Amino acid sequence: MITRIFTCLLSMAVLILTFGCQRDIGLLAPASFPTSGEVFLDGFGAGLDYQAFSNSKLDAISIDLQEKQAGEKSLRITVPSEGDPSGWYAGGAFVAPGGRDLSGYNALTFWAKASMVAPIGLVGIGNDNSGNSLYPASRSDLTFTTHWQKFVVPIPLASKLSAEKGMFQYSIGAYEKAGFYVWFDDIQFENLGSIAHPRAVIASTTLTGEAGEVLNAGITGVTFNINGVDQTVTAAPAYFTLISSNESVATTSTEGKITAMDIGSAEITVKLGDVEVADKITVTVVSPAPKPLTAAPLPTVSATDVISLFSNAYDNVNVNTWNTGWLYSTAVLTDMQIAGDDVKRYTDLNFVGIEFTAPAIDASNMTHFHLDIWTPDPTAAPAAFKVQLVDFGANGVYGGGDDSSHELSFASPILKSETWVSLDIPLTAFAGLANRSHLAQLVLSGDPNTVYVDNVYLYKGSTTIPTEPSAAAPTPAFSASDVVSLFSNAYTNVQVDTWSATWDNANVADVKIAGDDVKKYTNLVFAGIEFTSQTVDASAMTHFHMDFWTPDPTGSPAVFKIKLVDFGAGGVFGGGDDVEHELVLNATTMPAIATGAWVSLDIPLTAFAGMTTKGHVAQLIISGDPNTVFLDNVLFHK
């Protein structure tokens, strides 16, 4: 028997030697990956590495022998307080360098508690901290309490995770400025029977791109029913399969990208595994529009004085999303390069939300907000580009009662077409921003339909506010036939008797700003502007407009007041038929006042509710807290 076995083995050896050079390596079965779903069960799963995220607390994790949900140990996370030099937040990824086959599971589960009730920035899977992760999925809607609770992160499509390295990721920032502890236990992958009805979340079912452009499909996640409750998991586009109805117009990739090939229209069918999503994505390909040929100016601010959201010049903080996909937002985001520099391009822009809540940004020591923009679209007035910053307040959540925000509008000549424009904005200009220690949103909006964005950062620079504007006020673009102008180089002005009446308390001077005539008020308590020789018939007008600039503080409780007075048919003050109304503007009204920037106050005349007649307007009175005020383009328009 032994001889026969040896003979057979020898014969097989000869065959291998004879035919070995003709073997088809492609027929070999691929190497299998471990199927262990263990991340932390009384200790770390075999072969796992912990990799802390950029700017996070490097020593945030430790083993706790006192607190545990089960067994003998738990994983403790130390979340730093705001301003802690050891890190801005706690965050990292547990990585299996050799890969794991997780295709047999449908969820990541874990138990967790915290030393105080607090919202958690993010927990999830699929991030191997390489910068090239294909299958990240996460939840950011969780709040941990002081009692152990079990949490579930459904896997969008488990068959994709046959060789996954990213086993578990988390990101947690200070809550109401305070640090705290978080404990995790029994972190593992499971196959649960309580997860059902996956539905894709698609930001928009219509996309427009230029020939040759690579578009993001805008598939942001999957909603599952877990024990009868809908829960949404943010999911990478690569979980989905995209099928084009016309590949001569648009092709698709396994990474969830759509390449615009030629002018025309195509429908993209979306599938999650074998399940076809009801909504299809319509892609319209148009001719290429002008784009920047050179990169945006390279920032020169020292990195130690910068908190960067997006720039190749700095290390960037974590930004949850550059397109929140809010209801009614049509903005489409494309990541691309211009002259080797990374930029964000928004098309179909009406407004777009950019969120950085994990963690929020403490900009209390910063003085300026900066971004570079480029647009191929017309920028002549009244076109405007708007920038809004939103602070979530000490509780760190939107709508928590202590939110604050302010929006600034930029128009020509600051805004220009087909050239990089650097907006370098003193944070004091965002006067309605009550505090800046929990910045969580940036909102961009306005008239340009296509905008390239680069070098978005906050920085610490000079706090000196200029004493006068460096640029002229935006040139009005209202038709002259629809305007009654009191003061503007853009129109023929009606007669004004005085820009500072004998009964007021203010000084006025005629000055030029960038070649444009401007009224400058100093020592302003209240100023009376009278046009009584020929009163203004504004009965056919709909708005009152003026451009306003001040170097003085405009944050709460500062106010700026505008009063209009109609002398009535008698045409004289005190004739018994006078009417008037005063509006009080501050940093939070609409429109709002701001420091160190031209603000276009365009106010519906209906807002002057006490002005029951407008056929004999004879006085404009300005007053309030700003001591120095520059005025331009004071007019009524239809």
Is 563 a member of any domain?
Answer: yes
Q: Are residues 174 and 307 in the same domain?
A: no
Which CATH number covers residue 107?
A: 2.60.120.260
Is 410 a member of any domain?
Answer: yes
Tokens describing residue 68: 């545990």
Q: Are residues 238 and 257 in the same domain?
A: yes
Q: Are residues 348 and 391 in the same domain?
A: yes
Is 324 a member of any domain?
Answer: yes
Q: Are residues 44 and 188 in the same domain?
A: yes
Residue 463 pLDDT class (50, 70, 90 cuts): low
pLDDT of 160 strictly over 60: yes
310-347 pLDDT, tens digit each: 999 999 999 999 999 887 888 989 898 999 999 999 98
Higher pLDDT, 575 or 393: 393
pTM: 0.49
Rounded-to-integer distance, Cα 518 and Cα 254, Å = 59
Q: Which stretches of 195-350 are assigned E, i.e. beta strand?
A: 195-202, 206-210, 214-216, 219-226, 229-235, 241-244, 250-252, 257-260, 264-272, 275-276, 281-286, 306-310, 332-338, 341-347
Q: Are residues 348 and 245 in the same domain?
A: no
Rounded-to-integer distance, Cα 79 and Cα 116, Å = 12
Residue 415 pLDDT class (50, 70, 90 cuts): confident
Contact 560, 570 (CB under 8 A): no
Rounded-to-integer distance, Cα 510 and Cα 98, Å = 74
Is 355 a member of any domain?
Answer: yes
Q: Are residues 147 and 164 in the same domain?
A: yes
- Of 176, 192, 208, which residue is a domain's last? 192
pLDDT for 88: 87
pLDDT for 534: 92
- Percentage, residues of the chain above pLDDT 90: 67
Residue 358 pLDDT class (50, 70, 90 cuts): confident
Q: Are residues 216 and 127 in the same domain?
A: no
Query: Picking from 87-91, 133-137, 410-414, which range would have the lowest pLDDT averaged per residue?
Result: 410-414
Which CATH number covers residue 519?
A: 2.60.120.430
Q: Are residues 455 and 529 in the same domain?
A: no
Is 295 a member of any domain?
Answer: no
pLDDT for 471: 86
- Of 143, 160, 192, which residue is a domain's last? 192
- Of 157, 192, 227, which residue is a domain's last? 192
Enclosing domain of residue 406: 303-459
Q: CA-based diameter of the chain, in Å?
A: 131
pLDDT for 214: 82
Q: Are residues 74 and 141 in the same domain?
A: yes
223-261 pLDDT, tens digit each: 999 988 999 999 988 899 999 999 999 999 877 789 999
Is 240 a member of any domain?
Answer: yes
The domain total for the chain is: 4
8-66 pLDDT, tens digit each: 333 333 333 333 334 343 444 455 899 999 999 989 998 999 999 988 999 999 999 99
DSSP state of 237: G
Q: Are residues 521 and 616 in the same domain?
A: yes
pLDDT for 216: 80
Which CATH number covers residue 237?
A: 2.60.40.1080
Q: Are residues 224 and 238 in the same domain?
A: yes
Is 26 a member of any domain?
Answer: no
Is 235 a member of any domain?
Answer: yes
Q: Are residues 308 and 454 in the same domain?
A: yes
